[in-house]
Structure 1
Amino acid sequence: MLVAFSVAPSGTGRNDGSVHDAVAAAVRIVRESGLPNRTDAMFTTIEGEWDEVFDVVRRATEAVGEYGSRVSLVLKADIRPGYTGELDGKLERLEAELERH
């Protein structure tokens, strides 16, 4: 399964509204998990089995919770049993199709 998620604190008390330190704490947990992952400006996507992926999301969310009084979590999952390597595979198929036309 692929899970794309965005997690951020609110109620941080910071005047500039920045949450980069909290997001870095979450991304650190994702990267240390050893699961295939990719982070862009809006989401972090991780690939793995149900229990391992959601354990990482839970731990990342808990880490962000230390930076504010509330946490916002947005999550989207692509659940496709029997498939692995889809973090790259989906993009490779898209690029191949774009090159054909």
Structure 2
Amino acid sequence: MLISFTLTPLGVGESFPEHIADAVKIIRESGLPTRSNAMSTVIEGEWDEVMDVVKRATEAVAARAPRVQLVLQADLWPGMERPLDGKIALMERHVPDGYAAG
């Protein structure tokens, strides 16, 4: 399964890297396959282990901010091997030649 989530500390101003640093550390140390971008983080794994990481990351942000917004999206695809890379590879097979991923 894949979980895509975004944690936003509220009530701390416009920029908040110090408020999410502990959450990033928890995610990276989880040992699960992850990919982050400017908007969210995707974690691959079994339900309980992925949700445990999301919970601990959320609690880390909540320890530094008066309010936290969590946006979570899940993709449960039984039989899909390595969905973090597998879904992209499946899509790439259908993109016409000459169009590079950006």
TM-score in same-fold range (> 0.5):
yes
Structure that is richer in helix per residue: 1
Name the CA distance, whole Å, in 2 between partners of 1:94 and 1:39.
19
Unaligned runs of 5+ in 1: none
Deviations 1:24-78, CA, capped at 9 Å, x for gaps: 3212111100000000010100000000000000000000112210110000000
2:29 matches 1:7: no
How far residue 100 of structure 1 moved from its aligned partner, in angstroms, is: 5.1
Match of 1:93 among 73, 90, 94: 90
Tell me which amino acid in the other structure corresponds to 1:83.
M
Question: Which residue in 2 is equivalent to 1:22?
Answer: 19
Spell out the pairing of 1:1-101 with structure 2 (5 A cutoff): 1-12=1-12, 14=13, 17-99=14-96
Tell me which amino acid in the other structure corresponds to 2:74.
A
User: What is the root-mean-square deviation of aligned Cα atoms in Å?
Assistant: 1.5
Tell me which amino acid in the other structure corresponds to 1:10.
L
Tell me which amino acid in the other structure corresponds to 2:95.
L
Give TM-score, length-normalised by structure 2: 0.87
Aligned length: 98
Unaligned runs of 5+ in 2: none
Give TM-score, length-normalised by structure 1: 0.88
- Identical aligned pairs, as a percentage? 52
